[in-house]
């Protein structure tokens, strides 16, 4: 075949692709609906200390079957479960095992991006729907910090990796202190101010019933960590948790937590057919990296990418949900991005409600969903973001839409 004929064939394919290509690559709008979670329990001594994480997720999926029965008529096509430490009772592909344990005749997978694991599961499901590869996915997250230790049961470091990256394995508590050193304007008192705000807002949200639609009561009806009124005098007496001369304490850190989260990522048409009138459109996803010893700043480049790519400013976003791994990283990230704090974590955050690692990303999403629907006059856009172990960040942009 001559070069001229090859060129003509290339032009024909470029501007007139085959019909099958067009049909299989239509853009479909992915939405989030049907968020449901267990209350979060205190690791080691709370309600779920003797509950296997796989059994906890089976219980939550049973709640999903009851509460969102109409969604089950349309799927799910797959079960995607986020888990930060998928080993032991959380191992053996907990996504598939729990599907079997619930009698759900679908495949399942487990996703690991440490604290962003269930947020990553949400992003994967959204991407599949946008590509037209499916129309209904059950996404979830689970973590038992009572039964599976942080960093796993057999954690070890690689000398070879540390030759290239000496700070690759920096403990998260030390990363928080490093952020505090870099942002001295946010001292211990201001970190405690944010922790007190988190508990106060979480308490008010529970009292006003804001969390009621997303909670599946099991053994307990509320998150076990919320303390109100806040005892600021006791908070001030706590010793630094990670560095003798540091400013980060147990009160300004997220607690060790057990819990499970879930929700549905579907096409817009499936959500409408299942009876939902509003949903969160999943607009954009960004992941980023920072120096591992400054892990807590991960939300900054991820959120900045989201805003720049969508031609938005920080004030265009009506609601932010930032995981409160530590008070200092929220303060440093929010100030670096210029976020209005009156739009950040208005129903409290992880310092008050808890942080079950791989389950937390979805907790942010369902809280963002409920906030935007409850206070729809404030605007339609929301961002959920976390810092991630190893020096990463992840952010998702959502838009509240009518179906």
Distance CA 305, CA 369 (A): 21
Q: Is residue 32 part of a domain?
A: no
Which member of 68, 115, 216, 369 is catalytic?
115
Strand (E) or helix (H) holding 31: strand 30-37
Q: Is residue 341 part of a domain?
A: yes
Verify whether residue 131 is a known catalytic residue.
Answer: no
Q: Is residue 34 part of a domain?
A: no
Q: What is the count of structural domains for the chain?
A: 1
Taking residue 403's Cβ as centre, other Cβ atoms within 10 Å add up to 17
Q: Is residue 305 part of a domain?
A: yes
Q: Is residue 265 part of a domain?
A: no
Verify whether residue 102 is a known catalytic residue.
Answer: no
What string of H, E and C letters represents the secondary structure of 2-13? CHHHHHHHHHHH
β-bridge partners, 218: 220
Q: Is residue 119 part of a domain?
A: no
β-bridge partners, 289: 392
Q: Which domain holds residue 392?
A: 160-210+280-398
Q: What is the CATH number of the domain that holds 164?
A: 3.40.47.10
Which member of 68, 199, 216, 355 is catalytic?
355
Question: Among all chains, which residue has been given the structure tokens 């005098």?
Answer: 233
Digitized pLDDT (tens) for each residue of the chain, 403 residues in all: 444 444 334 433 333 333 332 334 468 999 999 999 999 999 999 999 999 999 999 999 999 999 999 999 999 999 999 999 999 999 999 999 999 999 999 999 999 999 999 999 999 999 999 999 999 999 999 999 999 998 988 899 999 999 999 999 999 999 999 999 999 999 999 999 999 999 999 999 999 999 999 999 999 999 999 999 999 999 999 999 999 999 999 999 999 999 999 999 999 999 999 999 999 999 999 999 999 999 999 999 999 999 999 999 999 999 999 999 999 999 999 999 999 999 999 999 999 999 999 999 999 999 999 999 998 777 899 999 999 999 999 999 999 999 9
Q: Do residues 79 and 95 make contact, with C-beta atoms less than 8 angstroms apart?
A: yes
Alpha-carbon distance values, 317 to 194, 283, 337, 342, 385 (Å): 21, 13, 12, 12, 13
The answer to whether the peptide bond before residue 76 is cis (omega within 30 degrees of 0) is: yes
Distance CA 71, CA 272 (A): 10
Which member of 68, 83, 369, 387 is catalytic?
387
CA angle 332, 334, 339 (to 5 degrees): 155
Verify whether residue 216 is a known catalytic residue.
Answer: no
DSSP assigned state of 333: H
Q: Is residue 285 part of a domain?
A: yes
Q: Is residue 229 part of a domain?
A: no
Q: What is the pTM of this model?
A: 0.93
């Amino acid at each position: 075949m001559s070069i001229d004929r090859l060129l003509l064939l290339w032009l024909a394919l470029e501007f007139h692709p085959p019909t099958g290509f067009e049909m299989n690559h239509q853009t479909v709008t992915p939405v989030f609906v049907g968020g449901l979670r267990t209350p979060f329990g205190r690791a080691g001594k709370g309600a779920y200390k003797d509950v296997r994480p796989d059994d906890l997720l089976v219980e939550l999926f049973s709640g999903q079957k009851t509460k969102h029965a109409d969604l089950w008529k349309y799927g799910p096509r797959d079960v995607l479960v986020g888990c930060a430490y998928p080993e032991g009772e959380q191992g053996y592909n907990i996504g598939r095992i729990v599907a079997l344990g619930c009698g759900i005749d679908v495949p399942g997978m487990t996703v690991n991006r440490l604290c962003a694991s269930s947020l990553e599961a949400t992003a994967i499901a959204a991407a599949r729907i946008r590509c037209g590869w499916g129309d209904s996915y059950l996404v979830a997250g689970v973590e038992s910090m009572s039964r599976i230790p942080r960093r796993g049961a057999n954690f070890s470091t690689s000398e070879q990796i540390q030759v290239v990256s000496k700070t690759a394995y920096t403990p998260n508590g030390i990363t928080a202190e490093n952020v505090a050193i870099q942002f001295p304007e946010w001292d211990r008192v201001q970190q405690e101010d944010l922790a007190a705000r988190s508990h106060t807002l979480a308490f008010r949200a529970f009292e006003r019933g804001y969390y009621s639609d997303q909670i599946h009561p099991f053994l307990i009806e509320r998150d076990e960590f919320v303390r109100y009124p806040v005892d600021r005098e006791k908070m001030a007496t706590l010793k630094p948790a990670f560095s003798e001369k540091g400013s980060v304490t147990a009160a300004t850190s997220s607690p060790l937590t057990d819990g499970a989260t879930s929700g549905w990522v579907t096409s817009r048409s499936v959500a409408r057919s299942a009876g939902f009138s509003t949903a969160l459109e999943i607009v954009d996803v960004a992941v980023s990296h920072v120096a591992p010893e400054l892990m807590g700043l991960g939300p900054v480049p991820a959120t900045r990418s989201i805003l720049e790519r969508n031609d938005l400013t920080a004030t265009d976003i009506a609601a932010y949900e930032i995981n409160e791994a530590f008070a200092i990283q929220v303060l440093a990230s929010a100030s670096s991005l210029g976020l209005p704090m009156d739009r950040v974590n208005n129903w409290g955050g992880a310092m008050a409600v808890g942080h079950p690692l791989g389950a937390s990303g979805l907790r942010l999403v369902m809280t963002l969903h409920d906030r935007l629907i409850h206070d729809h006059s404030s605007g339609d856009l929301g961002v959920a973001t976390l810092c991630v172990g190893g020096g990463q960040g992840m952010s998702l942009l959502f838009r509240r839409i009518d179906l």
